[in-house]
Amino acid sequence: MRKWLLSLCMVLALMACKDEKKQAADTKPVVKIGVSLPLTGDAANVGNAVKASVNMALEEWKQKDTKYNYEVVFEDDALQTAKAAMVANKFINMDKVKAIMNIWGVTAPVVADVAEKTNTIFFTCAGYIDNENKSYVFNNYTPNKRVSEALIKKLKKLNVKTVAFASDMNAVGDARAKYVVEDLRQAGIDVVAVERYIVGTVDFRMSIAKMEALNPDYYIIFVEQPGTKNFIEQHKQITGKDNLAAIDVFHEMPKKYWSAADGLWFVKSANGTPEFEDKFYKNTGLEIQSCVGNSYDNLNLIINAFENAPIKEGQKVPSNEDVIVQLHQAKDVDGAIGKISIDNLGNVDSLAVIQKMIDGEQVLDEE
């Protein structure tokens, strides 16, 4: 009887402790982060993959003992600027978020303006964003200069003198066309043709025939899905050659189509190390897309900064001013995209690498 009573007391005591701990967790101040993504429309596959990576990072934080409870609110911006602005305002005014995340340069500038005006931390993954005079805006996308460095090094090694450049007409394509083409020319590589396509174009035959008439040594493309596979096949169809390389887009095709690019190489912006890719696939069953690793890192950077930022008297959570100071101190942090550092402007620096497609797999060609 005495043993039985003792056991009961112990169980009750344990339950009380557990409840107390749970209560403590529930009473932790909440930090809300809004994530605006294209969950519908043409870029929905990327948006949903990024959503999965953000959820993955959040789940990992939930397993840790943190100072604050973190809540992520997802909204669909369909990659439309008007919708993105509306979502950003909703995040700030209704959800009272401390930080906003999104992807890609189509919607990033409008959200950046809203975030800067309201002192809300904003992390994006955009090919280009003007954050020179913006303290709260951070961009985690391999800079164009890093892409150019890797590309020029490889082209010089192949003794390429002339190239034709073809890209999509979107914010990243515009940035690539502007900066990479300029860098190629400065490096003494003649860009004999620059062709641009409306996103969604699938017929490139005439354009390739036109470029082929100028006899370029190499074709460099930044043509996203659904164009990538079509461009590869139509290039082979028109030229009969394999002088085609890409910036990023080869590995952004669904994996089952990678064999279409067999034997071709591409410059890969950092969007996830092979280890992260494996982990992401195991956790979500999804293939890695543009900005997946970057967004995983962005959430980690934000939460990490909140955890380490000092709290002033009377505050429940650190002020955003203190959090951005923490963010700027991030140097050589291990992330899903490799070692990352944030510069004074708020740009996350990361390296581009050359990958080659062999037997439907991507392998590292050279650092």
Partner 1 sequence: MLLHLLLNTLIVGAGYGLIAMAFRLMYSVSPFFNMTLGAVAALGAYASYGLISLCGLPIWTGVIGAILICALFSYALEAGIYTPMRNHGASSMVLMVASLGVYTIFESVILLVFGPQYQNLGSINSAKMISVGFASVPAVQLLTVLAYFVVFAGLNYLLHHTFIGLKIRAVNDSASLANIIGMKNNQIILLVSVLTGAVLGVDGVLIGFDTGMVPTMGFNLLFKGMIGAIIGGLANLRGAFFGALFLALAENIGVLIFASEWRDLIAFVIFITFLSLRPQGIFQKKGNLQ
| Cα-only R_g, the chain | 24
**For every residue of 65-89, which 3-state class applies, written as one string?**
CCCCEEEEEEEECCCCHHHHHHHHH
Torsion over CA of 168, 169, 171 and 175, rounded to 10 degrees? 70
Q: Which of residues 236-265 bind partner 1 (CB under 8 A)?
A: 236-238, 240, 253-254, 257, 259-260
Q: Which residue in 29, 41, 263, 274 binds partner 1 (CB under 8 A)? A: 41
Asked if 274 touches partner 1 (CB under 8 A), the answer is: no
Residue the block writes with tokens 């955003």? 320
Q: Which residue in 91, 165, 204, 250 binds partner 1 (CB under 8 A)? A: 204
Q: How far apart are CA 118 and CA 124, in angstroms?
A: 16
Do 136 and 342 form a contact (C-beta atoms < 8 A)? no
Asked if 345 touches partner 1 (CB under 8 A), the answer is: no
Name the segment binding partner 1 (CB under 8 A); options: 7-15, 145-153, 195-203, 276-284. Answer: 195-203
Q: Which of residues 280-339 bind partner 1 (CB under 8 A)?
A: none
- Cα-to-chain-centroid distance, residue 216: 32
Do 180 and 352 form a contact (C-beta atoms < 8 A)? no
Do 310 and 290 form a contact (C-beta atoms < 8 A)? no
Residue 335: CB minimum distance to partner 1, A:
26
Q: How far apart are CA 257 and CA 260, in angstroms?
A: 6
Q: How far apart are CA 67 and CA 56, in angstroms?
A: 19
Q: Which residue in 40, 80, 118, 273 binds partner 1 (CB under 8 A)? A: 40
Do 307 and 274 form a contact (C-beta atoms < 8 A)? no
Q: Compute how many residues bind partner 1; rule: CB under 8 A.
A: 37
DSSP 8-state code for residue 230: H
Name the segment binding partner 1 (CB under 8 A); options: 70-78, 129-137, 229-237, 276-284. Answer: 229-237
Name the segment binding partner 1 (CB under 8 A); options: 18-26, 124-132, 133-141, 235-243. Answer: 235-243
Asked if 229 touches partner 1 (CB under 8 A), the answer is: yes
Closer by beta carbon to partner 1, 247 or else 303: 247
Closer by beta carbon to partner 1, 79 or else 352: 79
Closer by beta carbon to partner 1, 102 or else 148: 102
Residue 183: CB minimum distance to partner 1, A:
22
List residues near partner 1 by CB under 8 A: 40-45, 48, 169, 195-198, 200-207, 209-210, 213, 225-226, 229-230, 233, 236-238, 240, 253-254, 257, 259-260
